[in-house]
Amino acid sequence: MNKESIAEYFQSLQDDICRQLEIADTEGKFQEDRWERPGGGGGRSRVILGKHIEKGGVNFSAVHGALPAKIASALQLESANFFASGVSIVLHPLNPWAPIIHMNVRYFEMSNGTWWFGGGIDLTPHYIDREDIDFFHGQLKAVCDAHHVDYYPEFSQWADRYFYLKHRKETRGIGGIFFDRLSGKDGFSIEDRFQFVKAVGESFAPIYVKLLDKHKDRDYGEREKKWQLYRRGRYV
């Protein structure tokens, strides 16, 4: 396994998630914009404007080059060449009863041997549904528990901290999991970490499709749409 095979997997993950979301939406199709980074690498940005997914982005990137000094300083790293790849997703549903969801899975390595994985999934409902919360966190816990018993308690608390809006003094949603700099410490291999990140990425579409299917045809009116717009503003 190397950085090329990891990036190839992320690219296939983007394809698979887009396929599942198009089926769930029933009408919308992703439009793709391919781009190149002047310093090295590029990606595929995909957007859907659908029947049930009002607007969503599923993006893949794999970039490389010399790590800028400011970024190296911010990450507390020595200057070296870097490689970074991942998939990032945000979906906003048309129906106010369906939740917003975000996911990111990523890999980073440097020419000096440093490497790590990061990512997570979090959910921002417009309306709280206890059954949805239990399902969402139950699915994430199952993914985490299959790889390490400490993952879910640690990463769910990390998500609660990461997605707390300090300037508003409120949570952005109902949390999820968040993790970063998962490296070879504590006896983990790069394959161990990669298998976990793959499981997180592959859990995304089934989780969201179930939530979308549950709510996409529910009746709503102007009151619910106004609340949805308000919650979207809080999300930003």
List active site positions: 102
Q: What share of the chain is helix, strand, coil (3-state, %, to 5)?
A: 40, 30, 25
Single out the residue of 108, 7, 12, 14 nearest to residue 65, CA to CA. 108
One-letter amino acid at 116 equals: W
Q: Are residues 57 and 32 in contact, defined by beta-carbon separation less than 8 angstroms?
A: no
Q: Are residues 46 and 32 in contact, defined by beta-carbon separation less than 8 angstroms?
A: yes
CA dist 175 and 182 (Å) reads 20
Q: Are residues 125 and 97 in contact, defined by beta-carbon separation less than 8 angstroms?
A: no
Three-point CA angle 37, 38, 41, nearest 5°: 40
Cα torsion for 139, 145, 147, 151, to the nearest 10°? 100
Q: Are residues 231 and 107 in contact, defined by beta-carbon separation less than 8 angstroms?
A: no
Place of tokens 């990512």: 119
Length of the chain: 236
Torsion angles phi and psi, residue 128, rounded to 5: -75, 130
